[in-house]
């Protein structure tokens, strides 16, 4: 290897390290900000004491430990899950417009969760995750069926439009069910996407699913990189495409299903973040996956802080804030790709 190539690689590694440090600093800053920002003012001393010498009798410390800390952790988990899901979907399908929200997977998970809550009013969180998996798998099956009907040559815009149609159907059926069975009030804020009111018990139950999904994503990341060069190249280099697609699809279902069960169908994180990540670190998914996780957590934490301060003392649904970023980006992609 020539010295110029070595210097180039060292330069990329240094730049990526710098990007990671900057993103991590922003994540830490927004996470700390989420502990401060809220309807009730809480002093720095109360925040510090809630971690080193927690006193349940202190209202400020209780708010930190029971409300704001779980909310902060949930935001990080949700950002990681949706961003990595989108990155894998775009890599495996070689479709720059693929994401859990655009292709209807979030809506399918919401449908599954609504059915679970109707059938079992006291459904546990793990039960909710299971029903979300089933709903997400159903939406995936619908997308695959539509793609097969056009000979597997569906364009990115075609799949995006098909996903939008599938999403609209699942949303309509979900709303019909929750209104008919009179559970609309319980699901109204959740369907808009939000992490307020989340408790630590819920975070602890979802965290293992997130870790499992991330581990599988990193395991298949090298093979997903090969897929980005085309199926023939990937096969020629020894990749088992069916195995890669199965593991990637399973990862998307695990991450998206658990995130939707925790926070609702927060859209566009999985569309925007993978694009930004590939622009910054390249197409090597061994870097795209961890950086997408980091940037996704940053986006959700920033959006959550904005959701609290945009209309105090009321909160704007988190999904509405991410949509303000995601919808223009989606329109830009559709126009740029032109269906090709």
User: Given a cut of 50, is residue 207 above it in pLDDT?
Assistant: yes
* 24 token code pair: 């991590």
For 177-181, 210-214, 252-256, 267-271, which range has the lowest pLDDT when averaged over its residues?
Answer: 177-181
Q: Which residue has the higher pLDDT, 234 or 193?
A: 234
Q: Which residue has the higher pLDDT, 326 or 292?
A: 292
Q: Decide if 333 contacts 90 (C-beta within 8 A).
A: no
List all residues 6 or more positions away from 107 whose beta carbon is below 8 Å from its beta carbon.
101, 139, 166, 167, 168, 170, 171, 174, 265
For 68-72, 166-170, 182-186, 227-231, which range has the lowest pLDDT when averaged over its residues?
Answer: 182-186
Instruction: Report yes or no on 28 lying in a domain.
Output: no
The CATH code of the domain that includes 203 is: 1.10.3470.10
Separation of alpha carbons 303 and 316, rounded Å: 10
What is the domain range of residue 92? 67-295+319-337
User: Given a cut of 60, is residue 1 above it in pLDDT?
Assistant: no
Q: What is the pLDDT of residue 123?
A: 76
Reference 265, options 127, 150, 107; nearest CA is 107
Q: Which residue has the higher pLDDT, 14 or 187?
A: 14
Instruction: Report yes or no on 148 lying in a domain.
Output: yes
Calculate the average pLDDT of the chain: 83
Instruction: Report yes or no on 303 lying in a domain.
Output: no
Reference 95, options 310, 263, 271; nearest CA is 271
Q: Which residue matches tokens 């989108």?
A: 86
User: Given a cut of 50, is residue 166 above it in pLDDT?
Assistant: yes
Reference 85, options 128, 125, 29, 132; nearest CA is 132
Domain count for the chain: 1
Q: What percent of the chain has pLDDT over 90?
A: 24
Q: Decide if 271 contacts 326 (C-beta within 8 A).
A: yes
Q: Decide if 53 contacts 266 (C-beta within 8 A).
A: no
Q: Decide if 276 contacts 293 (C-beta within 8 A).
A: no
Instruction: Report yes or no on 266 lying in a domain.
Output: yes
Provide the 3-class DSSP secondary structure of residue 276. Answer: helix
Q: Which residue matches tokens 């919401």?
A: 110
Termini Cα distance of the chain: 37
Instruction: Report yes or no on 45 lying in a domain.
Output: no
Instruction: Report yes or no on 193 lying in a domain.
Output: yes
Instruction: Report yes or no on 113 lying in a domain.
Output: yes
Q: What is the pLDDT of residue 12?
A: 77
pTM attached to this predicted model? 0.87
Instruction: Report yes or no on 195 lying in a domain.
Output: yes
């Amino acid at each position: 290897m020539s010295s110029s190539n070595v210097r180039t690689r060292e330069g990329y590694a240094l730049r990526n390290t710098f990007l990671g440090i900057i993103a991590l600093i922003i994540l830490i800053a927004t996470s700390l900000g989420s502990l401060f920002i809220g309807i009730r003012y809480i002093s720095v001393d109360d925040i510090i004491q809630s971690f080193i010498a927690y006193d349940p009798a202190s209202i400020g410390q209780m708010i930190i430990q029971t409300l704001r800390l779980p909310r902060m952790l949930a935001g990080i988990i949700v950002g990681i899950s949706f961003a990595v899901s989108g990155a894998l979907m775009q890599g495996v399908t070689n479709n720059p417009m693929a994401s859990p929200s655009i292709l209807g997977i979030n809506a399918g998970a919401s449908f599954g969760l609504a059915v679970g809550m109707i059938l079992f009013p006291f459904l546990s969180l793990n039960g909710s995750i299971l029903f979300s998996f089933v709903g997400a798998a159903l939406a995936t099956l619908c997308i695959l069926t539509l793609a097969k009907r056009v000979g597997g040559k569906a364009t990115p815009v075609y799949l995006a439009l098909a996903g939008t149609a599938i999403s609209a159907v699942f949303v309509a059926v979900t709303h019909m069910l929750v209104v008919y069975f009179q559970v609309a009030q319980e699901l109204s804020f959740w369907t808009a996407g939000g992490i307020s009111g989340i408790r630590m018990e819920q975070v602890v139950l979802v965290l293992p699913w997130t870790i499992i999904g991330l581990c599988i994503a990193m395991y298949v990341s090298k093979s997903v990189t090969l897929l980005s060069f085309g199926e023939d190249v990937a096969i020629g280099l020894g990749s088992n495409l069916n195995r890669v697609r199965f593991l990637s699809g399973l990862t998307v279902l695990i991450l998206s299903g658990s995130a939707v069960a925790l926070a609702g169908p927060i859209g566009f994180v999985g569309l925007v973040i993978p694009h930004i990540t590939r622009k910054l670190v390249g197409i090597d998914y061994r870097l795209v996956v961890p950086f997408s996780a980091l940037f996704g957590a940053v986006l959700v934490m920033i959006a959550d802080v904005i959701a609290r301060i945009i209309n105090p003392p009321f909160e704007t649904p988190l999904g509405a804030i991410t949509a303000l970023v995601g919808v223009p980006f989606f329109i830009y992609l559709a126009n740029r790709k032109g269906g090709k």
